[in-house]
Amino acid sequence: MHSVAIYGDSGMGKTMIMKRFRDEHPSSFNPLTGTLKTPVLAMEMTSRPGERRFYSELLTLLGAPQRPRADIAQMEQAALRIMEAIGVQVLVIDEVHNILAGSYREQRIVLNTLRFLSNRLQISLVCFGVNEAREAISGDVQLARRFEQFTLSRWAANEQFETLVASILRNTPPRQLPVCLPPHSDELLSSWISRHAAFYAVPPLVMLRHCLPEASALRATDLQLSSDQEIRLANMFATQPAVVRRMAFTNVAQSSRRLIATRPTQVCTSCSPAYMEPAPILRSQLDTRNNLALSRIS
């Protein structure tokens, strides 16, 4: 049967991948047959390999009772019988490099056991381990030929890694801020974010990237805000996406956005009293060279 071996340094997320794979193929109880169908069975290789310890760990994982003085043949038959009955299709083994902790004879026995289980039950093996695990599996040539090998490369602090982190953060459900300041009428989105930054005593760009990790500048949120970003900001600031949308200029034609000033040319004293820092910036305060852009803002 086709099998897979995944290697990587410690802390690369191999166990997390294994658990994710196991959770995506959960067990289900069949009341007609009285069996707990388990397509994926995941276990950890024992710290010191040995046929008895391997089958003991397997039977414990299966939830089967064990005779205190059962011989290996009895344990083997019990494991085969149970695994066949519950419909195991994939046996996942984490920390497979633990095989190397045993003597050469013990390593050969465990590898033979894995090959035997794969042949007898017609199941696939998925093994996870550090790079030294290659040496463990290669100890059995016939078994090694069945494995398609993958290596998890260690991430470097580069653009690709930053893109990955940003992608993860974008898909992480946003957590609402503990204190959300109400927006002023006609307030600019970047102004609202900046006022929150002042409240939380962080730079505006830090506040922005706390909300939108992929954002590069405050002005970009005023001019180029996607629907996903609107939803994320709305969730974090406890408001509606439509409210966020009205605070930006995303409905202004692309060709007219160059007419929107980068800073206000006039200040309304009633909207920005002296004690308020920073003063809110209204959309109407942004002067334009003509009325083309403002005429398209609704």
Query: Could you state, in order of their start, the residue ranges of all structural domains in the chain?
Result: 3-152, 176-295
128-184 confidence digits (pLDDT tens):
999 888 887 887 788 888 898 898 888 777 888 777 777 776 677 778 889 999 999
In the prediction, which pLDDT does 136 show? 79
Q: According to the 3-state scheme, what is the secondary structure of 37-92?
A: ECCEEEEECCCCCCHHHHHHHHHHHHCCCCCCCCCHHHHHHHHHHHHHHCCCCEEE
Report if pTM > 0.85. no
Residue range 203-217: mean pLDDT, rounded = 88
Q: Say whether pLDDT at 84 is over 90.
A: yes
Residue 286 to residue 284: CA distance in whole angstroms: 5
What is the pLDDT confidence band of residue 288, given thresholds at 50, 70 and 90?
Answer: low
CATH fold group of domain 3-152: Rossmann fold (3.40.50)
In the prediction, which pLDDT does 280 show? 82
Q: Pick from 297, 193, 285, 204: which is nearest to 246 by CA?
A: 297
Q: What is the largest CA-CA distance in the chain?
A: 92
Higher per-residue confidence, 166 vs 201: 201
In the prediction, which pLDDT does 87 show? 93
Residue 88 to residue 261: CA distance in whole angstroms: 65
In the prediction, which pLDDT does 69 show? 84
| Contact call for residues 163 and 156 (beta carbons, < 8 A) | no
In the prediction, which pLDDT does 25 show? 93
266, β-bridge pairs: none
Residue range 31-36: mean pLDDT, rounded = 86
124, β-bridge pairs: 90
228-260 confidence digits (pLDDT tens):
888 889 988 999 999 999 888 877 766 666 666
In the prediction, which pLDDT does 214 show? 81
DSSP letter at 210 equals H
Residue range 21-42: mean pLDDT, rounded = 91
Residue range 69-89: mean pLDDT, rounded = 93
Q: What is the mean pLDDT of the chain?
A: 84
